[in-house]
C-alpha cells in the first residue's frame, strides 16, 4: 500500500486505526499486578533464605550416589597395617582381595583414586598428588587431630578434629583423630544382578543369558534358569523380588480402586442427572455427595482409612475409590445431561420404556466418555497409588520412602523411580490402545 493511500485511510478511519488505550492499560496493569504478586510470594515464602540454606554439595553427592557406587577404603590410625575395603561402606560387603588400584607400599598403602589423583597412606600422614606428581594435599596425623601441612584448597574443609577433601566428584577422603576413610566412586550400579554372597556374583546380564543357555549346571540340584531367577529375585542389596511384588501391589491398588469407582459412579450419575431425575430433592443429595467425595483429597482419605483399617493396600484402594467416585460421578452426570435428546425422543415415539430409552438411547452416547475417563484415571491413579503407598498403604511407595529415609541408598531410590516411570508409561500405552479399540474399533 502506498504511503498516500495509508494517509487517506488513516484520515477516513481515524478511530478504527487509533491505538486502543484501554486495552493497552489493561495489559500494563495485568503485568504490574503479576510483578507485585511475584514479589509478595517471594517475600511470603522467604525464598531468599531458603536459597541461602540450600546445600549444593549435599545435593551433588546424592545425585552422584543415584547413578554411581563408591568403594570405601578405611585405615584405622591405631593399626595402620590393617586396611578394610568395603562396597558402599557396608561391612557385609568386604573385599577379601584388595582391588588392583590399591597396592602395598613401604609402611603403608598407595591408592589410585579416580579423576587423576593418587593418595599415599602412611602411619604418620596422608599425601595426595595429581597424576603429574604435584602435591595438592599433605595432612599429618596427630593425637589431638589431623593437621593440614600444605596450602589450603577451596575443596578442603578443615575442622579441629576433622579434615574432609573432595577435589573431584569421583574422589573424596575424610580424616579424623581415629581413622582415614577414602571414597573412590565408579559409574554404574554394582551387584545389580546378583548380590555379594551369590554364587553368580560378578555375572552380568549377558553372562546370565549365556549361563541359562549352557548345559553345564552351576548347582547340580537345580537348573541354571532356576538358579539365575532365584538369585536375581533374592538379591539382598537390590531386593528385586520385594520391589516387583510391591510394584504389583501398587498397580493392583490403582486398577481395583479405579474400577470400583467407575462402576459405582455410573448408576449414581444417572440419579444425579437433570434429564433423568427431574426432582431436585432426589438428585441434589447425590450431587453434593460427589462434591464431598472429590473435595477431600485422596491423601486425606488414605490417612483416614489407615487409621480405620491399618496399614496395607486396602486403605489405598478405598482412598482411590472414594475420591474417584466423586470425580466420575460429576463427569458421567454431565455427559448424561449433554446427551442428544433426539435419540431418546425417537425411541419414546416407538413406545420404548424408560429403561429401554436410557439403555439404548443414552448409554451408547456416554459410553466413550465412560471408557475414556476410566482408562485415563487408571493411568493417573498408578502415580497416585505410589504417593498413597508412602503414607503407609504399602506398595512401591512404601519401598521408595524406606530408601529415601536413610539418605544412603539413593541408587536404590533411582532404581525404584525408574520402575515407577516405566510402569506409568506401560499403563499409558495400554490405556491408549484400549481406548482406540473400544471406542474407535482400531488396533
CATH number where 344 lies: 1.10.3720.10
Secondary-structure percent of the chain, ordered helix, strand, coil, rounded to 5: 55, 15, 25
**Chain-centre distance of CA 439, in angstroms?**
32
Domain assignment present for residue 244? The answer is yes
Q: Residue 274 in 3-state DSSP?
A: coil
Domain assignment present for residue 35? The answer is no
What percent of the chain clears pLDDT 90, i.e. is strictly above it?
Answer: 6
Domain assignment present for residue 130? The answer is yes
Q: What is the mean pLDDT of residues 275-290?
A: 81
Residue 302 sits in the same domain as residue 410: yes
Residue 293 sits in the same domain as residue 387: yes
Q: What is the mean pLDDT of residues 363-385?
A: 81
Residue 174 sits in the same domain as residue 254: no
The predicted-structure confidence for 89-144, as pLDDT tens digits, reads as follows 777 888 888 888 888 887 888 999 888 899 999 888 899 998 888 889 898 988 88
Residue 441 has pLDDT above 60, yes or no: no
Query: What is the number of other CB atoms lying within 10 angstroms of the CB of residue 223?
Result: 13
Residue 170 sits in the same domain as residue 265: no
Domain assignment present for residue 31? The answer is no
The predicted-structure confidence for 34-80, as pLDDT tens digits, reads as follows 989 888 888 888 777 777 776 677 777 778 888 888 889 998 888 88
Residue 266 sits in the same domain as residue 364: yes
Domain assignment present for residue 138? The answer is yes
Residue 146 sits in the same domain as residue 268: no
Which residue do the cell numbers 491413579 mark? Answer: 381
pLDDT of residue 128: 92
Residue 247 sits in the same domain as residue 175: no
First CA to last CA distance, the chain: 54
Backbone angles phi, psi at 79, to 5 degrees: -140, 80
Residue 262 sits in the same domain as residue 399: yes
Does this model's pTM top 0.85? My answer is: no
Extract the C-alpha cell encoding 242.
520385594
Average pLDDT over all residues of the chain: 82
- Give the range of the structural domain holding residue 332, as residue numbers without chain letter: 240-440
Domain assignment present for residue 217? The answer is no
Domain assignment present for residue 358? The answer is yes
The predicted-structure confidence for 141-177, as pLDDT tens digits, reads as follows 888 888 888 888 888 898 888 999 888 888 889 999 8
Number of domains in the chain: 2
More confident residue, 343 or 76: 76
Residue 150 sits in the same domain as residue 75: yes
Specify the pairing of strand 125-130 against strand 179-187.
Answer: unpaired
Backbone angles phi, psi at 69, to 5 degrees: -120, 155
**How does DSSP assign 212-252, residue by residue?**
HH-SS-SSTTS-HHHHHHHHHHT-TTT-HHHHHHHHHHHHH
Residue 412 sits in the same domain as residue 294: yes
Q: How confident is the model at residue 321 (pLDDT cuts 50, 70, 90)?
A: very high
Domain assignment present for residue 156? The answer is yes
Residue 394 sits in the same domain as residue 260: yes
Amino acid at each position: 500500500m502506498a504511503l498516500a493511500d495509508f494517509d487517506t485511510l488513516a484520515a477516513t478511519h481515524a478511530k478504527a486505526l487509533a491505538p486502543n488505550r484501554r486495552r493497552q492499560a489493561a495489559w500494563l496493569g495485568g503485568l504490574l499486578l503479576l510483578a507485585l504478586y511475584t514479589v509478595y510470594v517471594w517475600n511470603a515464602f522467604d525464598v531468599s533464605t531458603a536459597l541461602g540454606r540450600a546445600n549444593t554439595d549435599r545435593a551433588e553427592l546424592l545425585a552422584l550416589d543415584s547413578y554411581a557406587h563408591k568403594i570405601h577404603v578405611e585405615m584405622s590410625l591405631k593399626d595402620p597395617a590393617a586396611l578394610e575395603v568395603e562396597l558402599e561402606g557396608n561391612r557385609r560387603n568386604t573385599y577379601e582381595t584388595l582391588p588392583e588400584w590399591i597396592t602395598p607400599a613401604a609402611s603403608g598403602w598407595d591408592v589410585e583414586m579416580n579423576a587423576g589423583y593418587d593418595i599415599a597412606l602412611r602411619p604418620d600422614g596422608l599425601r595426595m598428588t595429581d597424576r603429574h606428581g604435584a602435591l595438592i594435599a599433605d595432612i599429618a596425623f596427630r593425637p589431638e587431630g589431623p593437621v593440614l601441612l600444605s596450602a589450603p584448597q577451596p575443596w578442603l574443609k578443615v575442622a579441629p578434629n576433622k579434615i574432609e577433601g573432595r577435589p573431584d566428584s569421583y574422589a573424596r577422603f575424610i580424616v579424623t583423630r581415629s581413622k582415614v576413610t577414602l571414597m573412590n566412586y565408579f559409574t554404574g550400579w554394582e551387584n545389580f544382578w546378583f548380590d555379594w554372597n551369590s554364587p553368580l556374583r560378578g555375572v552380568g546380564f549377558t553372562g546370565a543369558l549365556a549361563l541359562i543357555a549352557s548345559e553345564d549346571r552351576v548347582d547340580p540340584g537345580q537348573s541354571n534358569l532356576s538358579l539365575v531367577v532365584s538369585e536375581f529375585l533374592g538379591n539382598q542389596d537390590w531386593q528385586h523380588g520385594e520391589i516387583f511384588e510391591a510394584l504389583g501391589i501398587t498397580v493392583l491398588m490403582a486398577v481395583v480402586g479405579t474400577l470400583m469407582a467407575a462402576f459405582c459412579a455410573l448408576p449414581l450419575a444417572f440419579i444425579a442427572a437433570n434429564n433423568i431425575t427431574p426432582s431436585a430433592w432426589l438428585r441434589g443429595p447425590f450431587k453434593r455427595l460427589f462434591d464431598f467425595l472429590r473435595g477431600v483429597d485422596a491423601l486425606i482419605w488414605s490417612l483416614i482409612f489407615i487409621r480405620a483399617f491399618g496399614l496395607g493396600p486396602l486403605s489405598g484402594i478405598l482412598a482411590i475409590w472414594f475420591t474417584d467416585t466423586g470425580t466420575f460421578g460429576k463427569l458421567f452426570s454431565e455427559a448424561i445431561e449433554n446427551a442428544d435428546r433426539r435419540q431418546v425422543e425417537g425411541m419414546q415415539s416407538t413406545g420404548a420404556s424408560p429403561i429401554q430409552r436410557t439403555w439404548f438411547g443414552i448409554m451408547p452416547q456416554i459410553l466413550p466418555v465412560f471408557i475414556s475417563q476410566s482408562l485415563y484415571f487408571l493411568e493417573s491413579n498408578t502415580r497416585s497409588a505410589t504417593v498413597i503407598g508412602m503414607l503407609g498403604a504399602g506398595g512401591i511407595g512404601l519401598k521408595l520412602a524406606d530408601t529415601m529415609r536413610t539418605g544412603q541408598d539413593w541408587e536404590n531410590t533411582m532404581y525404584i523411580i525408574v520402575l515407577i516411570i516405566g510402569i506409568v508409561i506401560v499403563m499409558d500405552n495400554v490405556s491408549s490402545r484400549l481406548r482406540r479399540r473400544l471406542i474407535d474399533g482400531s488396533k
